[in-house]
Chains A and B, each alone.
Chain A
Amino acid sequence: MKKMKLGSYTPGTSLIHQLDPRTKLLSGLVVIIVILVDNSWPVLVLNTVLIFLVLYLSKISPKSVLHGVKWLWIIFAASFIAHCVCTQGEPWFSLGPLVVSKEGISRGLATFLRLLILYLCSTILTMTTSPMKLAGGLEALFAPLIYLRVPVNQFAMLITIALRFIPTLIEEAETITKAQKSRGAPFASPKKMVRLKTTLAVLIPLVVSSLQRATDLAVAMESRCYTGGPHHSRTKNLCFGRYDLVALAVTVVICISGTIVG
């Protein structure tokens, strides 16, 4: 039932696990922006090295990350091939009617690396950071927006509650699906409309119970004096230490030097 889902948090004590979530969020953001804005080779190579270094330091088995999803590799491969074939330039070799250019290979490789870095950045972030810390990190980073009357605290509470109830909802959906199957719900019907109605037979009860749950939860929260304020266990537990400074500095230096050389 509860399979190990890709990118789900794997508890650990590695250096990367211990970093402040804000550090990880910011560094990830910097890396992603740089590789999206500047696709020169030095930037890509340096960032690839960086991300694999982080992967090594996080002590997550590379296998679990890289072999995680097959379809992702299909996308990687497809984008690589598409770039190879569709880019005009000096022909290198040809395969029947398809002409592969040197520029194509280089652009295909660059795209592949960008996708890989994007994927690894997000996966390592979620695998080494507990959802609560992530929510706390986001709340802290967006805290200045409170002055613009953006309800940051309430939003963080929203994420917290979502994190709490997603597993419950999944379980409930599984049970309802089984219950409807027991009444012969045609989940595998060839007709689109029938399948739609069958999906509704699971969705409607799920929505109904969620509304009931929301009502109950609101009462329970009110009973415990909730008024929409900030939550320390999310934000105050964060501590920005020496390693965070080093990590941020390394990221920034690598990104800047890559851009300059490129």
Chain B
Amino acid sequence: MPVIEINNLSYVYNAGTLNEKRALDNITLSVEKGEFLGIVGANGSGKSTLIQHFNGLLLPSSGSIFVLGHDTRDKQYRSQLWKSVGLVFQFPEQQIFEATVYDELAYGLRNIGLGQPEIEVRVKEALENVGLIPEEQFLNTEPLCLSGGMRRRIAIASILAMKPDILVLDEPTAGLDPEGYAHILDTIKRCRKNQDVTVVMVSHYINDLLILSDRLVLLDDGCLQIWGPTREVLASADVKDYDLLFPDYIKLLHNLKKQGFQVNTGVLTLEEAVDEIDRLLEGE
């Protein structure tokens, strides 16, 4: 059963003015319950605009979007949607404002109206989920004293604590050093294991998404170009048109295939690519 259904969605910024810009053009797409969907596209391709439709922050200029079975144009429904769709913005550490880590994580929970005992349990759980353990050590820390990577994990935890049905992440690894990057990826992998949660993750570079995504969406200039199971998308020949989005080992396989060699281009990791080349060299 799809949890998000998008039909012919278009979105226009500054409609009717000189700066009018069509950010999304006739997008049709659905997200299944429990799946991990990766959305990839260059900067300015409309990724962020698309996901802000998921929790009703933006409404389609034309077309429709149904989230968890309801139209987001319904104002009553939309105003409660944040409880079930957790949206992690790009550079989410910028939104931190409470004086302690505990309060920061409890902010959304208090807005939901949960009681103190439940909040405490969830805060600890969320901290554990992002790998900030032992939790007690962090609860009363001032977020501003922590490193950028840790602040980002706290911001993500503040959304995880709300236990959304759909978790949406906008470029969660952008601008991090390798260590911070690895921690965020671990957190996302943990989320992926939980079959009840649907995860949508956006990135300008497909690398992070390859091993995680069940399906991939490729956006280019506001249009949906490719949508399908990850391996099929990678195997398809269109990849070469989006040179900068794909890692070089996949490009290498595509290049070899173009030269007439029998290569399976549907690989996800570097190791798989090496095995494929190994097989090719062996076979000759």
Contact = CB atoms under 8 A, between A and B. Distances in A.
Chain A to chain B: the 10 pairs with minimum beta-carbon distance, closest first: A184-B111, A183-B108, A204-B97, A179-B95, A182-B87, A179-B89, A201-B97, A184-B82, A205-B97, A178-B57
A180 interface: yes
Which secondary structure characterizes the binding site on chain A? helix
Given A1-B14, A183-B162, A205 B108 contact: no
B55 interface: yes
Given A178-B52, A183-B108, 19 more contacts: A1-B13, A172-B94, A178-B57, A178-B89, A179-B87, A179-B95, A180-B95, A182-B82, A183-B95, A183-B111, A183-B159, A184-B108, A186-B111, A200-B97, A204-B97, A205-B95, A205-B96, A208-B144, A209-B94
A208 B145 CA distance: 12
A40 interface: no
B76 interface: no
A14 interface: no
30 contacts: A1-B13, A1-B14, A2-B14, A3-B14, A172-B94, A176-B94, A178-B52, A178-B57, A179-B89, A179-B92, A180-B95, A181-B57, A181-B82, A182-B82, A182-B86, A182-B89, A182-B159, A183-B107, A183-B111, A183-B159, A184-B83, A184-B108, A184-B111, A184-B112, A185-B111, A204-B97, A205-B94, A205-B95, A208-B96, A208-B97
Contacts of A186: 111
A175 interface: yes
B259 interface: no
B19 interface: yes
Interface of A: 1-4, 172, 175-176, 178-186, 200-202, 204-205, 208-209
B158 interface: yes
Contacts of B159: 182-183
B194 interface: no
Of A172, A182, A186, A205, the most chain B CB neighbours within 10 A belong to A182
A204 B143 CA distance: 13
B116 interface: no
Contacts of B14: 1-3
Interface of B: 13-14, 17-19, 52, 55, 57, 82-83, 86-87, 89, 92, 94-97, 107-108, 111-112, 144, 158-159, 162
Contacts of B162: 183
Of B94, B108, B112, B158, the most chain A CB neighbours within 10 A belong to B94
Nearest to A176: B95
Contacts, number: 59
Nearest to A207: B97
A25 B57 CA distance: 43
A201 B104 CA distance: 10
Nearest to A186: B111
Contacts of A172: 94
A177 B138 CA distance: 26
Nearest to B110: A184
Nearest to A204: B97
Contacts of B13: 1
A185 B162 CA distance: 13
A183 B82 contact: yes
A183 B98 CA distance: 13
A166 B124 CA distance: 39
A177 to B, nearest CB: 10
Nearest to B162: A183
Nearest to A4: B17
A4 B14 CA distance: 9
B110 to A, nearest CB: 9
Contacts of B95: 176, 179-180, 183, 205
Contacts of B97: 200-202, 204-205, 208
A230 B14 CA distance: 39
Contacts of A4: 17-18
B144 A175 contact: no
Contacts of B82: 181-184
Nearest to A201: B97
A190 B263 CA distance: 64
A46 to B, nearest CB: 36
Nearest to B92: A179
Contacts of B92: 179
Nearest to A200: B97
A3 B17 contact: yes
A216 B32 CA distance: 44
B19 A2 contact: yes
Given A1-B13, A1-B14, A3-B17, A182 B158 contact: no
A1 B95 CA distance: 20
A197 to B, nearest CB: 10
Contacts of A204: 97
Nearest to A180: B95
